[in-house]
Structure 1
Amino acid sequence: MLDLHRLRLLRELKHRGTLAAVAEALSYSPSSVSQQLSVLEKEAGVRLLEPVGRRVRLTPQAEILVAHTEIVLERLERAEAELSASLTDIRGVLRIAAFQTAALALVPKALSRLRERHPALRVEATQSEPESALPALQARDFDLVITEEYPGNPEARPAEIEHEELCRDEIRLALPARTRDRPAGPSTAAGLSAAADLPWVMEPAGTASRHWATALCRSAGFEPDVRYESSDLLLHLHLVEQGHAAALLPDLVWYDREASGDLRRLPEALRTRRIFTAVRRGSGDHPAIRAGRDALGVGVPVRGTQGPTHGDIRDLPDGDESAGGSESY
C-alpha cells in the first residue's frame, strides 16, 4: 500500500523543484525527505527519481504517481470543505496572497468584512506576485490567490487550479505633466507614440505585465526605453508624477488618491486587465474560501468610480467614452 504522506512529499518535490526546498517548506531535513522518498520507491517497486547534475528529477513513473496524488488530494479538499460546511460558524485559517495593487485596494476592505462577519476565522495575507503566488498555491502555501490577466496575453491555467473572475481594472497611459500638450494620436495602439521618445518605468522582465507592456509598445511601432524597473507600482506612479518616466498604470493605483499627470485611455480592446481569485481544485466550496471570495467581491470598486476622478484624463481621439463610464461588470 502506498503511503499518502510520502506521496505528498513526491508531489511537493514536483512543485518546489528541489529536496532542499521541500525540506524548508515542511520543516524537515533534506536527508529525511530523501529517506522518505527512498522508502516510497521500495513501496512502488519502481525508480521515482533520477539525478540531473546536483539535482534530481521525477521519472515518468513518478509523474504517474503525482497525477493520482493530485486526484486524491482534490477529494480530500472536497471532504474538508463539506466537513467545514456542516459546522455553524466559520473558523480555522485562510491564507491569502495578492499582488500589490490588489493588496492595497481590495484586501483591507475584505479583511474588515471577514473580521465583522467571521470573528473566529484567522486570515493571513501576503503580498506576492502571481508568478510566485500561483505555484505556492499549488504547493499549499496559500489557500486563495488574487491573480491577473492582461488583454491579449492569457496565461496558462494548470488543471489543478480553479479561477473565478473578481473584477476588471482599466489600465491607462500615464505621461509626465510636462507632456500634456503632445497630441494623443489615433485611437489605436499607435496612440502610444506620444510616449515613444520618453523614458519608461515597467515591472521586471519575465512578468506578465512587462510582456504585455512591451508588446503593446512594439505594436505602436517603437521599442520602449525602459530605464526603471520595479514591481512597486506606487514607485511607477511617483516617477510619472515627478516627470521622470511614462508608465502604464491600472486604476487600482488610485484607489485612495486623486489622479495627477497626463492620463490617456488606451484603445478599448487593449485597456482592461481581468482580476481573478484562484484556489486549488476541490477547495472552492470550503466555507472559509467562499467567505474570502465573497468579502473580496463586496470590496471591489464599481467601474466608473474606481478610476481617477481628477486630473487630466483623455481618451485617445476617435473614442466616445468618458473616463467615468457607466458600464458595470
Structure 2
Amino acid sequence: MVHRFSITLTQLSYFTECAKTLNMTAASQELHVAQSAVSTAISHLERSLGAALFIRQHSKGLILTAAGEALLRDTHRLFGLLSDTIETIQADQEEVRGAITIACFHTLTPFVLPQLLRLLQERHPNLTVEVVEGDSEENLAALRGGRAEIAIGYDLTAPDGIEQEFIAAVPPHVILHTDHPLAQRGSVALAELAADPLVLLDLPDSREYFQRMLQEAGITPHVKYRTKNYEAVRSLVAMGCGFSILNQRPRIEETYTGSRTVIVEISDDVRALHVTVSSLAQVERTARARAVATAVRELLTPADSASDM
C-alpha cells in the first residue's frame, strides 16, 4: 500500500517555527526564508487539512487554534521520532545532535541554566539548545503546546498528562535585612514574623505556596510589596521593606542595592519544593531530552547541599 500525504515536512517545519514565535516575520527570519514562503506554506497546510491553524491578528501576531495545538503536539512527536531514527542510523550512535527547546522556571534560570548549557555544550557539541523562560503555568503551556520538549521547574502542582522527575529537594528559608531583631538567630518560627510586612515573590503557584505556608503557621500575611523578580525581592528585604520566604540560595549575600540580606532557617515543619524535569507523559523522551535530564541530574545530585542552589 502506497501512503500519499498532502502535507510536507517543510510545511510542518515552517508551521512549528510560527507556533513557537507566534509571528510570521520572526519565523521567516529564524528559518532564513522569505516571509511570503512561510505564509504560503501555512496557507497550503491549512487548505490540505481543512482547518485554520492560526488566528491572524493584524499587527499583533498569531494565536494557535485548537487544531493548531493538536497538530503542534503531534508534529513535535513526529519530529522527535524521526530525529531518534536518524540518530540510530548515523555511524556515531553515542552522539546527540539536533535542536531542543527547554522551558525553565524564571527563578531557577540563573541558578541552573548557565551550568547546564555549558555542560551540554561540552558533552554534546552538535546539540542546539533554545530556552524559553516562564512561570509554572507558562512552562506547562509550552510543554502542552509543543513549544518546549522538556521543562525545568518545581513541583508546585501535579498537572495531568505531565511526567515529573524529582531531582533535588530545596527547602524554604526566611530572608531578613541585616538589622532585623531576628537576623542573628539560627532559625525562627514563622509565627515570630506575624507582625512583619511580607515581600512576596508574586508568581503563579509560587505565591500560593508561600501564602499557604504562612497560613498553616497561623499567620495571615500582610503583603506590603509584590514582585515577580527574585532579585527585587532580595533588594526590597535588604532595604528593610519587610521579610520574605524563598527557596533558592545565592552564594552571595549582597543585593543589587549594595545592601545585604540574612538567611535564617525555618523551625516549623514546612514543605520543601523539588526541582523537577518535566515532559509530556504520553510522549517518549527523545535522545536530546534524555541528555538534558541526565545533565540536570548530574548538576543537582543529592550530594549537593540545598545551600548551593
Task: Say whether the fold is shared (TM-score over 0.5).
Answer: yes
From 78, 83, 86, give the equivalent of 2:86: 83
Q: Which is worse superposed, 3-12 or 131-140?
A: 3-12
For 2:298, the aligned partner's letter is V
For residues 222-301 of structure 1, what are the structure 2 equivalents within 5 Å? 222-250=219-247, 252-254=248-250, 256-257=251-252, 260-261=261-262, 263-265=264-266, 267-268=268-269, 270-280=270-280, 281-282=282-283, 284-286=285-287, 288-300=288-300
The answer to whether the 8 Å contact 2:210/2:245 transfers is yes
Change in CA separation of 1:110 and 1:224 when aligned onto 2, cut-off 3 Å? same
- Tell me the residue number matched to 1:305: 305
Contact 1:176 1:242 survives alignment (8 Å)? yes
Residue 297 of structure 1 aligns to which amino acid in structure 2? R
Matched to 2:149, the amino acid is: D
Q: 1:262 to 1:162 in 2, by over 3 A?
A: closer
1:253 and 1:169 map into 2 onto residues whose CA distance is: 9
The 5 A counterparts of 1:158-173 are 159=161, 161-173=162-174
**Structure 1 residues 72 and 36, CA, compared in 2 at 3 Å: closer, same or farther?**
closer
In structure 2, relative to structure 1, the CA distance for the partners of 1:127 and 1:48 (3 Å cut) is closer
When residues 162 and 31 of structure 1 are mapped into structure 2, their CA distance, relative to the original with a 3 A threshold, is farther
Indicate the residue corresponding to 2:122 in structure 1: 116
Separation in 2, partners of 1:138, 1:27: 24
Alignment of 1:69-108 (within 5 A): 70-71=73-74, 73-87=76-90, 88=92, 89-108=95-114
Cα 1:129/1:111, change in 2 over 3 Å: same
The Cα offsets for residues 204-256 of structure 1, whole Å up to 9 and x where unpaired, read as 2x611111112222233333222222222222223333332111111x332x2
Q: 1:3: how far off?
A: 4.4
Give the secondary structure class of the aligned counterpart of 2:218: coil
How far is 1:146 from its partner?
A: 0.9
For 1:77 and 1:130, the matched residues in 2 are separated by 24
1:171-214 Cα shifts (integer Å, max 9, x gaps): 1123334131899999xxxx42222211111122x611111112
SS in 1 for 2:172: strand
Shift in alpha-carbon separation, 1:25–1:139, aligned structure 2, 3 A: farther
For 2:181, which of 179, 183, 208 is the aligned residue? Answer: 179
Q: Distance in 1 between matches of 2:26 and 2:163?
A: 23
1:176–1:240 CA contact under 8 A, matched in 2: yes
Structure 2, gaps ≥5 residues long: 254-259
- Please state whether the residue corresponding to 2:228 is helix, strand or coil: coil
Residue 212 (1) aligns with residue 209 (2): yes
Q: Which stretch has the larger CA shift, 275-284 or 207-216?
A: 275-284
Contact 2:103/2:150, CA 8 A, preserved across alignment: yes
2:198 counterpart of 1:200: yes
Q: How has the CA–CA distance of structure 1 residues 83 and 4 changed in structure 2, closer, same or farther, with 3 Å as cutoff? A: same
Give yes or no for contact 2:22–2:63 (8 Å, CA) kept in 1. no
Taking structure 1 as the reference length, what is the TM-score of the superposition? 0.66
- Which whole-Å deviations, capped at 9, do the CAs of 1:41-64 have from their partners, x for residues lacking one? 87667x879x9xx99996xxx66x
Contact 1:169–1:275 (CA<8 Å) still a contact in 2? yes
Instruction: Go from structure 1 to structure 2 and tell me whether the alpha carbon gap of 1:9 and 1:43 turns closer, same or farther (over 3 Å shift).
Output: same
SS at match of 2:241: coil
Task: Give, in angstroms, the shift of residue 294 of structure 1.
Answer: 1.4
Deviation at 1:273, TM superposition (A): 0.6
Deviations 1:109-128 (A, max 9, x none): 22222222222223334443
CA distance in 1, matches of 2:96, 2:64: 40
Q: Distance in 1 between matches of 2:286 and 2:222?
A: 46
* Alpha carbons 1:77, 1:282 under 8 Å: kept: no
Partners of 1:94 and 1:38 lie apart in 2 by 26
Identical positions, percent: 21
Instruction: Please tell me whether the aligned partners of residues 187 and 265 of structure 2 are also in contact (alpha carbons under 8 angstroms).
Output: no
SS of 1:307's partner is: helix
Give the TM-score normalised by the residue count of structure 2: 0.69
Aligned letter for 1:198? D
Aligned AA for 1:257? Answer: I
| Distance verdict in 2 for CA 1:295–1:264, change over 3 Å | same
The aligned amino acid for 1:202 is L
Contact 1:203–1:230 under 8 Å retained in 2: yes
